[in-house]
Structure 1
Amino acid sequence: MTTSQRYDGDIRELPGPARAAALGTLVADLRSPDPAVRDDGAYSTAVRWIPVLDANERYGLGDSVARHFADTAVEARAFAPLVLARIVEAGTWREEWWRAFCDWYPAETDLRGHDPELGWVHAAAHGADLLAALAEHPGQRPLPLAECAVARLLAPTDHLFDAQEDDRIAYALARILCHPELTEAQSEQWLTPVSEAFRTGEPGPVPAWASNTMRTLRMLYVLADRGVRRRDTDEAPRTPTHREPVLGALARTLAIVAPCTG
């Protein structure tokens, strides 16, 4: 049976035991090293199925996928947040999944964007996608989302983002900064660890984490200034809840590593 045949049809037409078996296969395929199985098959099917699952099925799927954060295979870990983002968009979320994600995201050491054999890995970008989805989830506090993104950016790494991961993290941060419950102080304070880290810089080659962070903040400045909207929508762009303080804080932080700026 080919991957496409495995996921043919409408899951809503399957009886209960068959639905459970299909979801079990989906979870297993989400850790496959074959990108045709994992990305083209299982993930694409998850996008199609998640909105029509009932709440218990979504919770079960989320529980199974969240366990992938502790998997030995990077492709399993990296696709977990992408699936959880779709579950969040369907209105389902657990605190346990957040704790598992926060333990994993800053600690992930394999930050490859695309691998010739594995296909897209993209752990940093996929984690950012979950943060962006959570920025719209009712009851989710925004500041911990920004702090988690910063922890990822400041984590030691030799990997220089090369597949627009900086843009994806900046997009997530822009969505977070549009949260209506974010205070003016909170809109700036998440940048404090970045400023402190930049001030430790010494003459010589720019570390990968610093370059990744600088490029992320530069894109974030553009999004904060011009506005951001949800992907694949024609909604009007939104600017941060406290736009001017955010722009000022970003400018001051970037000036530490680019003193030629005004």
Structure 2
Amino acid sequence: MDTSQSRENDIRRLQGPPRASALDELIADLRSPDPVVRDDLAYLTARRWIPALEPSELRYVGDRMAAHFASPAIQARTFAPLVLALIADRGEWKQEWWRAFADWFPAETDLRGHDPELGWLHAPAHGADLLAALSRHPQQDPYPLAELAVCRLLAATDHLFDAQEDDRLAFALAQILSHPGLTTAQSVQWLDPIAAAFRTGEPGPVPAWASNTMRTLRMLYILADRGFHGPGAGAPRTPTHRAMVLDAIAETLTIVAPYAG
């Protein structure tokens, strides 16, 4: 495959079989173990092409990306949510894709940020990006998004976030919590499983999942308090029920930091 020549073609100019072939080539490259092909070329091409695709083409690419969640190749699994986020922002979304993502995200055990050979993998961060995109989708109930983020945080792991995955998850949660459809109860009850997990803590080293969760909540508190900028221009946004969210996060963190006022 002549990758450089392939990337010179704009999908808007392709019709018929060449267009379908170009999409299949792109899908294959999005699971390439070569980070130059996958990240520097294929993903950037997806960002450029997806806004120009027809709905049937978006669904075709989405189906293939959702299938990647079951791939034995880690890079295929972790780039699938990035592409699905682009498709969701176009307005296309299927419950089959949600089920595939929801099954994969908390179960993924390879949480490496960057690999010297494979490049960026970043499963927690890329999954967070899809959660954020879905929080903007008009047909998606926001509360299951927060629940899925919690499942990812509380999943057993020995991996300590080391590439700002906690920040990306916090940013996704901030966007979810700013959804106008969330009730006051939903804005805080997603924290209940975290509080319960924190209460099981024992003397000794802090488990990786607990440290990851604490740092995510600390960043979320800052974003909820100070506001954050979502996609596009505009004034900083805050959670729909900001005061309740801030109080609930602070109470949850006090379980592991009883010295806090």
The verdict on a shared fold, with TM-score over 0.5 as the criterion, is: yes
Q: Which residue of 2 aligns with 1:154?
A: 154
- Aligned: 1:76 with 2:110: no
Residue in 2 aligned with 1:94?
94
TM-score by length of 1: 0.98
- Structure 2: distance between partners of 1:139 and 1:13: 31
- 2:122 and 2:81 mapped to 1: Cα distance? 11
Q: Which residue of 2 aligns with 1:67?
A: 67
What letter is aligned with 1:33? P
State the alpha-carbon separation in 1 of the partners of residues 48 and 85 from structure 2.
13
| Matching of residue 14 in structure 1 with residue 14 in structure 2 | yes
| SS of match in other structure, 1:203 | coil
Query: In angstroms, what is the RMSD of aligned CA positions?
Result: 0.8
Which residue in the other structure is 1:38 paired with?
38
Contact 1:3–1:36 (Cα < 8 Å) also in 2: no
1:204 aligned residue: 204
1:98-113 matches, within 5 Å, as 98-113=98-113
Contact between 1:84 and 1:130, CA under 8 Å: does it hold in 2? yes
User: What is the match of residue 258 of structure 1?
Assistant: 257
Q: Contact 2:128 / 2:169 at 8 angstroms: preserved in 1? A: yes
Structure 1, unmatched stretches of 5+, are: none
SS in 2 for 1:70: coil
Distance in 1 between residues matched to 2:98 and 2:227, nearest whole Å: 27
Q: Which residue of structure 2 lines up, in the alignment, with residue 244 of structure 1?
A: 243
Q: Cα offset for 1:229?
A: 1.6
Residue ranges of structure 2 left out of the alignment (5+ in a row): none
* 1:220-231 alignment, distance < 5 Å: 220-231=220-231
User: Distance in 2 between the 1:24 and 1:9 partners?
Assistant: 14
Displacement of 1:7 in angstroms is 1.5
Q: How far apart are residue 2 of structure 1 and its match?
A: 4.3
Which residue does 2:215 correspond to in 1?
Answer: 215
Scaled by the length of structure 2, the TM-score of the pair is: 0.98
Counterpart for residue 128 of structure 1: 128
* Alignment partners' CA distance in 2, 1:192 and 1:119: 36
**Separation (CA, whole Å) in 1 of partners of 2:108 and 2:193:** 19
SS class of match (1:71) = coil
Q: Tell me if the contact between 2:230 and 2:237 (Cα under 8 Å) persists in the aligned partners.
A: no
Matched, 1:235 2:234: yes
Counterpart for residue 58 of structure 2: 58
Q: Structure 1 CA distance, aligned partners of 2:203 and 2:162?
A: 24
What amino acid sits opposite 2:147 in the alignment? E
Q: Which amino acid is 1:257 matched to?
A: V
- TM-superposed CA distance for 1:6, in Å, is 1.7
Q: What is the number of residues matched between the two proteins?
A: 261
Displacement, 1:35? 0.2
Please give the secondary structure, in 1, of the residue aligned with 2:8.
coil
